Structure 1
Amino acid sequence: MRRLPTVALFGHAVLTQVVTFVLRPTASYRALELDVPASWLGALSACFALVPLVLALPAGHVVDRVGERRVLVAGSVLMAGAAAVFAFLDGGLPGLLAGSVLLGTAHLCCVVGQQALVANAASGRGLDSAFGYYTFAASLGQLLGPLLIPVFGGGGSIPDTGPIFLGTFLVGTLLVVFAAPLPSSRTGRERAAGGSVGLGPLLRLPGLARALTTSCVVIAAVDISLVYLPALGAERDLSAGLVSALLALRAAASMVSRVLLGKLSAALGRTRLLVGSVAMAAVGLACCALPVPVWALVAAVVVAGLGLGVGQPLTMSWLAESAPPGARGRAMSLRLTGNRAGQVVVPAAVGAVAAGLGAAGVLGLTAVTLAWTGYLARRLSVD
């Protein structure tokens, strides 16, 4: 891929996550402003997450048929439109729900289009580096997004949501600018041929179930750490500043492992790296669950972060390389569907089993789940 499209793609990936990670928490703040019952906050989250579960596979099919650029442009317009719904339509709770649905649809189009473009623009071992850099850009956007909330809305316990929505709408319009120079990786004839490939060849890929299981457990572990590290801090009387630093360290460590993914994969091999990274994440979270001093907790979080950063891009690159020609959009959307299902099922199951054991019990059980996943991944040939 040439320099301008590459810069545009990674800029688009950063902005997609920035807008998403500003709008989602700000929608919750607006709901609190409106005195919406706490039970409806879950509905806001579900409206965003439900769309990828239902539409991910059709979206991947569309990418393979019409090309990545059209889907990315459509997703960018929808993303700006979602911000506009939040900013300009004072529809109360129905408006928030509608905006969340639109945001989930936009995010799906952008992410599937981005991942398919990366998959089709690289090949072989270059896929590892390409997806490492891509997921680094996405992580950077997730890190920067929440920082814009106090910039636009002030530092109160409930920020002024109006300026945040308006500022995010302006940022969202930049997505269309970044989408303009993005190419489609395939010709019209190749897209037509790819559109005839069904899901069957994908579902018959050797090791697909193990790869999707590894991917969804790793991303569920990330979500669990985001929720239960603050709860662990509250149980152990750690300051909010220290907990925030731990979460930032976890994210930064994952970003480091993603930047180095190509070199690590070349040195260790994909299978060894995948199994080792899942084992690192398991050890790190298990140590977090133990009554360790603060310095050891910091080290454990860094180890967990380094391990959790590898699973997503490595399974992306394996799936992209294994997918039949012309079906990489559907391959990426199939992985996304599995991830979203895992984000719903795994935390609920872990929380139910570890009920009464506190945050440490949940983190410990998550470590056991990761260890078992890593054991199963030993038989996954991704080299």
Structure 2
Amino acid sequence: MRAGAALLCHAFLLQLAAYVVRPTSAYRAIELGVDPRMVGLIAASFALLPLVVAVTIGRWNDRGHVRPSLVIGGVLMTGAGLGVHLWSQSLTSLLIWNAVIGLGHLLAIVGQQTLVAQLGRERLDSAFGTYTFVGSLGQAAAPLVLSAVGGSAVLPDTGLLFVIYTVTCACLLGMTGLLPRSRKTDQRLGSGNSLRSALGVPPTTRRTMTGAMLLSTLVLAAVDLIQVYLPALGVERRIPSATVGVLLAVRAAATMASRLGLARLTSRVGRTRLATVSTIVAGVAVGALAVPMPIVVAGLLLAVAGFALGIGQPLSMTIVTTAAPAGTTSTWLALRLTGNRVGQSVIPAVLSAFTGSIGTGGIFVITGVGLLGTAAAARILIADDL
């Protein structure tokens, strides 16, 4: 019980740190006079290194190296916190430090998800729902920190926010020693074989994995784009940073609510249907944010979007864990994270190139359309009996 509580605390701190540093980096870029069209590159840099090493880290975890993965991740995030605080006086330095933070975050999160998959094997929907709920709690706390520091100013004190991020990462690293030990995997069941062998699954399973990963990628990209572009939209429309922080917290709180009741929703609706419907609702709500509106209406839309977006991530984890052959769970979870990082790097970078012509509001329209297309693909690809 104590080890499980430590894992949830670790998950909270990881998301708190990530969701403090990323909008803070966007604000620092604006502080430095960086063109708002380039802000999306910060989100892309966070995902850059994980694209190369995610599956390798997954195989490493499958072989029983969960604790080293968590420790190294904490060290990288803490060290990068010092770097981004002391040496981030240009867009290039911001991109470099965010790339290191992204790598550390990946190492930590693969370790976390491996432990959750092992500890919650008999009740995956509930286990991943609780895990992502606590992560969402960290996401909700982060913009409140942003609001407290920023107050009524359009641009908050980024130096203080980077200090808060670094201290949070140091606590995360200290918590690692209290986490549960990972179980040894049976080498005959895939953990000791080649990557090709580990990824060799029947066509039906491969389609299901593809659908789950596509769902995860677009949902996470949508959350990231909200996180990065809502501050930019706030600057355009002269919305105080404290108000933007509250709006981001509303999104995160709604996400928490959906994850807390995920097991009940899944049992009533079914995983495939729930994945499809929730993504459609999210697409409509996110797209509507492009229209100028009162703050209260924007808050309601973000609540709807947050609730719907909160369902896709834990559902995709459950689907991948259920479908993965024994001894390859971490590998497939890492492959899912690779897809996430592709979305986090490619999608913001591509949209940054079009921000000048379509405006920040247009980013939300394109994101909504992408979610609607993802819902259609997930309905076709993911098996109904999961």
TM-score by length of 2: 0.82
Query: Contact between 1:350 and 1:366, CA under 8 Å: does it hold in 2?
Result: no
1:316 aligns with 2:317: yes
For structure 1, which segment, 329-338 or 141-150, has the greater mean C-alpha deviation from structure 2 after superposition? 141-150
Q: Deviations over 1:35-57 (max 9, x none)?
A: 58669977665543211111111
- Give the deviation of 1:260 after TM superposition: 0.9
Question: Judging changes above 3 Å, is the alpha-carbon distance between structure 1 residues 278 and 199 closer, same or farther for their aligned structure 2 residues?
Answer: farther
- Give the deviation of 1:281 after TM superposition: 0.8
- Give the deviation of 1:304 after TM superposition: 1.7
- Secondary structure of the equivalent of 1:324? coil
CA distance in 2, matches of 1:48, 1:276: 29
For structure 1, which segment, 186-195 or 280-289, has the greater mean C-alpha deviation from structure 2 after superposition? 186-195
- Give the deviation of 1:115 after TM superposition: 1.1
In structure 1, give the amino acid aligned to 2:281: M
In structure 2, give the amino acid aligned to 1:173: A
Question: Judging changes above 3 Å, is the alpha-carbon distance between structure 1 residues 238 and 176 closer, same or farther for their aligned structure 2 residues?
Answer: closer
CA distance in 2, matches of 1:66, 1:279: 39
CA distance in 2, matches of 1:218, 1:91: 29
For structure 1, which segment, 226-235 or 356-365, has the greater mean C-alpha deviation from structure 2 after superposition? 226-235
Query: Contact between 2:275 and 2:312, CA under 8 Å: does it hold in 1?
Result: yes
- Give the deviation of 1:229 after TM superposition: 4.5
Query: Contact between 1:152 and 1:167, CA under 8 Å: does it hold in 2?
Result: no
CA distance in 1, matches of 2:87, 2:50: 26
> 1:301 corresponds to which residue?
302
- Give the deviation of 1:21 after TM superposition: 3.2
1:137 aligns with 2:110: no
Q: Identity rate of aligned residues, in percent?
A: 39
> 1:195 corresponds to which residue?
192
Aligned residue pairs total 377
Query: Contact between 1:64 and 1:329, CA under 8 Å: does it hold in 2?
Result: yes
Query: Contact between 2:219 and 2:312, CA under 8 Å: does it hold in 1?
Result: yes
Query: Contact between 2:147 and 2:243, CA under 8 Å: does it hold in 1?
Result: no
> 2:101 corresponds to which residue?
103
Superposition pairs for residues 17-32 of structure 1, below 5 Å? 17-26=15-24
> 2:183 corresponds to which residue?
186
Query: Contact between 1:280 and 1:306, CA under 8 Å: does it hold in 2?
Result: no
Question: Judging changes above 3 Å, is the alpha-carbon distance between structure 1 residues 79 and 363 closer, same or farther for their aligned structure 2 residues?
Answer: closer
> 2:68 corresponds to which residue?
70
Query: Contact between 1:22 and 1:148, CA under 8 Å: does it hold in 2?
Result: yes
Q: Deviations over 1:271-307 (max 9, x none)?
A: 1111111121123234444576665544333222211
Query: Contact between 1:281 and 1:305, CA under 8 Å: does it hold in 2?
Result: yes
Q: Deviations over 1:232-258 (max 9, x none)?
A: 667777676655443322221111101
In structure 2, give the amino acid aligned to 1:59: I
- Secondary structure of the equivalent of 2:191? helix
- Give the deviation of 1:8 after TM superposition: 0.7
> 2:216 corresponds to which residue?
215
Q: Deviations over 1:120-143 (max 9, x none)?
A: 22225x111211121122222223
In the alignment, which of 161, 168, 171 is matched to residue 171 of structure 1?
A: 168
Query: Contact between 1:230 and 1:243, CA under 8 Å: does it hold in 2?
Result: yes
1:60 aligns with 2:55: no
In the alignment, which of 114, 117, 139 is matched to residue 116 of structure 1?
A: 114
In structure 2, give the amino acid aligned to 1:368: V
CA distance in 1, matches of 2:100, 2:346: 23
For structure 1, which segment, 319-328 or 42-51, has the greater mean C-alpha deviation from structure 2 after superposition? 42-51
- Secondary structure of the equivalent of 1:62? helix
- Give the deviation of 1:268 after TM superposition: 1.1
Query: Contact between 1:73 and 1:179, CA under 8 Å: does it hold in 2?
Result: yes
Query: Contact between 2:51 and 2:341, CA under 8 Å: does it hold in 1?
Result: yes
Query: Contact between 1:78 and 1:102, CA under 8 Å: does it hold in 2?
Result: yes
Q: Which consecutive residues of structure 2, in runs of 5 or more, have no partner in the other structure?
A: none
Q: Which consecutive residues of structure 1, in runs of 5 or more, have no partner in the other structure?
A: none
- Secondary structure of the equivalent of 1:309? helix
1:127 aligns with 2:132: no
Query: Contact between 1:288 and 1:363, CA under 8 Å: does it hold in 2?
Result: yes
CA distance in 1, matches of 2:46, 2:344: 13
> 1:381 corresponds to which residue?
383
- Give the deviation of 1:104 after TM superposition: 2.3
In structure 1, give the amino acid aligned to 2:130: Y
Query: Contact between 1:66 and 1:191, CA under 8 Å: does it hold in 2?
Result: no
- Secondary structure of the equivalent of 1:195? coil
Query: Contact between 2:83 and 2:97, CA under 8 Å: does it hold in 1?
Result: yes
TM-score by length of 1: 0.82
